[in-house]
Every structure is written in C-alpha cells, then in structure tokens.
Amino acid sequence: MTTLKDRVEAEPYWFLRIDLGNGVVTPGWSNAARDKLPWFGLPDVMTGLRVLDVGCPEGFFSFEAERRGASEVVSVDFDPGCIRRFELCAEALESKVTHPQVLSAYSLDPALLGTFDLVMFFGLLYHLEYPLMGMEKVAAMTSGTLLVQSFTLETAYLRDQSLARFRPHGVTSGPKDNPIHDPTVFWEPNSACIRDMLDNVGLVKIEQLTGPRPVLRQRIARRLRHSTWNGTAQFRAQATHRAAGSPP
C-alpha cells in the first residue's frame, strides 16, 4: 500500500515546505510559514471570503486562507506539476474549499472565474515576460484587496524612481547549499516600480508592507550611495470600487 510519505517522496521537486500532518512534511526548500507568512499581509480572519491564489505552487497560502475561514479558494498555476502536488496536499489536508487548476496569469478573466474579495499574487511578477499585463489581469479579478509580493533589485540613490532590470538568461536561485539556475526570472523590479504598476492598473490605497529587518551588515551596505541589493517587497492595494467577490 502506497503511503502519503511514499507519494510525497516520489515527487522529484517540491518548492514549498508544507506540514501535511502525521509527521509528513513536504521537502520544499522554501519555508513559507517562517519566511513569508508573517510578512505577506493575509488577514487574520478571512471568514466568508472568496479568494484567488495566482501562482499557487503546492498551495501553502491557499490552505492558509482556508484555515482562516475563506469560503472558496481558487488556486491557479501554469505548471501542471504544481497542480498535481497541490492536489496531493489538498487530499492529505482534507481541504474542502480549494479549487486548483492549470491556468496562466495571462488567461485570468472575470468571465471565467468571477471576482474575488482577496487576490494573492505572490512570487510570480518577476517570472512574467510581460509583468504589467500580469498586473492588469490580477487587478481585473480584484473586487476587494490585492496582495502582491515580488523579488526586487533596489538601488540606494534611486529608491523612489521606477526601475527594473531585465535578466535575459535568468538568475541563480534555490537554497544556498544547493543553488539552481532559474531561467524563468525575467525581471528584477524595484519597490517603486511595483508601486507604480499597481497605480497604473487602477488600484488605490497602495501601501508597502513591512518586511523582515535586514541584518546589520546589510543595513550598513544599503547606506552606501551606489550600492544595489536584491530583496523582496510586499504590497497591499484596493479595488477602486469595492464589492463582494462573486462567481462568474
């Protein structure tokens, strides 16, 4: 008989570390519970919310939304492997409200999926060849709040100017002890660029959320006029005309 542990170990790749219970934890290299969840702006109480998780990988944030009371969570990712692993996790966690499906961010359409009280757009913007189009698509799905997180490249003396570096061949990513080449990272926007994209697509009440405090060495380096560094930025923004999310 194939056990849950066997099924998890049979998967060649995991991105997110997810506790599935009974001592089984997916071997992802990203610990979202520790490194992401405290900073990404999820409401403590999500009772009754209709939620969209764009770029869901194995579903950590979808399951967290369900745990906090969301009544429906639609989770999309372009990678069938991610959705397969999501479904494995959903079965193990006995998820009742998540609906994973293979779908590109460019294919998001309110006529297909409806609108949502909360849209989560984490870790995907910089993977898109056309990031502004992606932002337009997620904004169109948002009838309430949009949460965005992105990898960034910041420059000390140009902090308030919208800038983005194009990476034609991707970047080195993954855990420090086992780095991998990721050719799907196309852009490194700065925080100002993300803020201005949110403004451009018509969202309002845009606020940058607090992230983890850099260590002392990083704080000193960032005071140097010509220094640049990679980091992350998290934002919360609101639909211009707020309304309850609704199915198509």
Report pLDDT digits (tens) over 6-27: 999 999 999 999 999 999 999 9
The tens digit of pLDDT for each residue in 177-235 reads 889 899 999 999 999 999 999 999 999 999 999 988 777 767 776 776 668 888 999 99
248 domain-assigned: no
DSSP single-letter state for residue 107: G
150 domain-assigned: yes
Nearest CA to 71 among 92, 93, 52, 91?
Answer: 52
Q: Are 198 and 235 in contact (CB under 8 A)?
A: yes
Q: Are 163 and 177 in contact (CB under 8 A)?
A: no
* Mean local confidence (pLDDT), 29-57: 97
- Predicted TM-score (pTM) of the model is 0.94
pLDDT of residue 1: 84
Q: What is the mean pLDDT of the chain?
A: 94
223 domain-assigned: yes
pLDDT of residue 159: 84
> 105: domain range?
4-238
pLDDT of residue 227: 83
CATH of the domain at 102: 3.40.50.150
DSSP, residue by residue, 146-170: EEEEEEEEEEGGGTTS--EEE-TT-
* Mean local confidence (pLDDT), 98-121: 98
Distance CA 13, CA 26 (A): 10
User: For the chain, what is the domain count?
Assistant: 1
246 domain-assigned: no
